[in-house]
């Protein structure tokens, strides 16, 4: 009788484990759509298509890229926030995801609450550059001019762009007040700098690759806390303004309430893909490296970045136009 009871208990326990395992089984969607909230051709689109190709093979399911530009990335972001939480719709976007929301009085989405953070794709320092006709060759000279030269100006891709936010952070930390000149796209700002109309800016290395090689703009420093392996000859701004640090980064997000096991699976696959040779080569063109954060770490990172830029926007009076 005791033997029968033990067998019955063992069978029940086995069935329980099986049911638990089935409950935790990750169901991969029949098709995955990666929404890019900007037009084709930029870094967001390039990274999404490269990731999509490899994720399709890795998960054995079709992956397509859906470009939904508009409202500074808000249209695409909202579409993902409102999608079914089954992993079939993902958002891939840059740090502008948090900076654009930071300058809105009533943002269309909350970077922290409106999404399930999936993975940090890649990250890296930005570059402080000066016009070749300016006298500035060091970050000390640039910072001093930002403090004392009333005509000191800087350009960016627009209000709320990471270029503006990074330079306003430098203004704040250095107790300076360089004047912002917003442009519709970073290429227009770079063109004006080459023409002698802008004195400085903080931008991604990829956005000025050609002008740098041609000597049309002058590299001054990097925005990482320490010198970057991509540009080891350049000092860090933090050597002059201690604590200054800004990263350009790209991340992947899912709709809120997406099952955690699925988010974890996607995180693992994306991190593995990002660390591959082909993706590393792609990232290095942007002077960035693969992200290594797990899901909780990435959630913390997004929350920290969101709080950082919201605080700066409030302090510096940066608002959407």
Residues 230 and 259 in one domain: no
Residues 135 and 108 in one domain: no
Residues 135 and 181 in one domain: yes
Please classify residue 21 by burial: count the beta carbons closer than 10 Å to its beta carbon, then call 0-12 exposed, 13-18 middle and 19+ buried.
exposed
Of the candidates 239, 267, 292, which is a domain's last residue? 239
Find the CATH number of the domain harbouring 131: 3.40.190.10
Question: What's the confidence (pLDDT) of residue 24?
Answer: 52
202 phi/psi in degrees, rounded to 5: -115, 125
**CA-CA distances (angstroms) from residue 264 to 24, 29, 160, 253, 260?**
11, 14, 31, 12, 6
Question: What's the confidence (pLDDT) of residue 254?
Answer: 99
Residues 102 and 152 in one domain: no
Of the candidates 239, 257, 282, which is a domain's last residue? 239
CA gap 251, 249 in Å, rounded = 7
pLDDT in single tens digits along all 321 residues of the chain: 443 444 444 444 443 433 333 345 788 999 999 999 999 988 999 999 999 999 999 999 999 999 999 988 999 999 999 999 999 999 999 999 999 999 999 999 999 999 999 999 999 999 999 999 999 999 999 999 999 999 999 999 999 999 999 999 999 999 999 999 999 989 999 999 999 999 999 999 999 999 999 999 999 999 999 999 999 999 999 999 999 999 999 999 999 999 999 999 999 999 999 999 999 999 998 899 999 999 999 999 999 999 999 999 999 999 987
Residues 253 and 120 in one domain: yes
CA gap 77, 93 in Å, rounded = 9
Residues 90 and 73 in one domain: yes
b/e map 160-184, b = 16+ CB within 10 Å: bbbbbbbbbbbbbbbebebebbbbe
199 phi/psi in degrees, rounded to 5: -95, -35
Please classify residue 71 by burial: count the beta carbons closer than 10 Å to its beta carbon, then call 0-12 exposed, 13-18 middle and 19+ buried.
middle
Domain span at residue 131?
Answer: 127-239
CA gap 211, 198 in Å, rounded = 14
* Residue 61: partners with Cβ closer than 8 Å, 6 or more residues away: 28, 29, 30, 31, 32
CA atoms within 13 A on the CB side of 104: 17
Evaluate whether residue 290 is within a structural domain.
Answer: yes
What's the total number of domains in the chain? Answer: 2
Evaluate whether residue 21 is within a structural domain.
Answer: no
Total-model pTM: 0.89
Contact (CB, 8 A) for 122 and 283: yes
Question: What's the confidence (pLDDT) of residue 27?
Answer: 87
Contact (CB, 8 A) for 105 and 319: yes
217 phi/psi in degrees, rounded to 5: -135, 160
Residues 254 and 117 in one domain: yes
Residues 181 and 41 in one domain: no
């Amino acid at each position: 009788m005791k033997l029968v009871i033990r067998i019955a208990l063992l069978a029940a326990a086995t069935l329980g484990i099986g049911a638990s395992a089935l409950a935790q089984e990750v169901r991969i969607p029949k098709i995955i759509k990666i929404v890019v909230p900007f037009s084709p051709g930029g870094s967001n689109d390039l990274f999404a298509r490269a990731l999509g190709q490899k994720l399709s093979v890795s998960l054995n399911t079709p992956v397509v890229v859906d470009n939904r530009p508009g409202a500074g990335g808000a249209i695409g972001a909202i579409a993902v926030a409102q999608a079914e939480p089954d992993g079939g719709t993902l958002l891939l976007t840059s740090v502008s995801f948090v900076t654009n929301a930071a300058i809105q009085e009533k943002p269309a989405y909350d970077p922290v609450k409106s999404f399930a953070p999936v993975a940090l794709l890649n990250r890296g320092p930005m570059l402080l550059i000066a016009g070749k006709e300016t006298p500035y060759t060091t970050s000390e000279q640039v910072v001093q001019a930002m403090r004392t030269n009333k005509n000191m100006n800087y350009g960016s891709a627009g209000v709320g762009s990471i270029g503006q936010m990074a330079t306003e952070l430098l203004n704040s930390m250095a107790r300076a007040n360089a004047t912002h000149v917003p442009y519709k796209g970073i290429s227009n700002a770079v063109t004006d700098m080459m023409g002698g109309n802008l004195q400085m800016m903080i931008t991604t290395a990829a956005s000025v690759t050609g002008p740098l090689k041609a000597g049309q703009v002058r590299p001054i420093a990097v925005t990482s806390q320490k010198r970057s392996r991509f540009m080891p000859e350049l000092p860090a701004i933090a050597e002059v303004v201690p604590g200054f640090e800004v990263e350009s980064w790209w991340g992947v997000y899912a709709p809120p309430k997406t099952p955690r096991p699925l988010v974890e699976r996607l995180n693992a696959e994306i991190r593995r893909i990002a660390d591959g040779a082909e993706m590393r080569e792609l990232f290095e063109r942007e002077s960035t490296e693969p992200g290594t954060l797990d899901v909780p770490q990435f959630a913390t990172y997004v929350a920290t970045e969101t709080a950082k830029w919201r605080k700066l926007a409030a302090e510096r009076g940066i608002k959407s136009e």
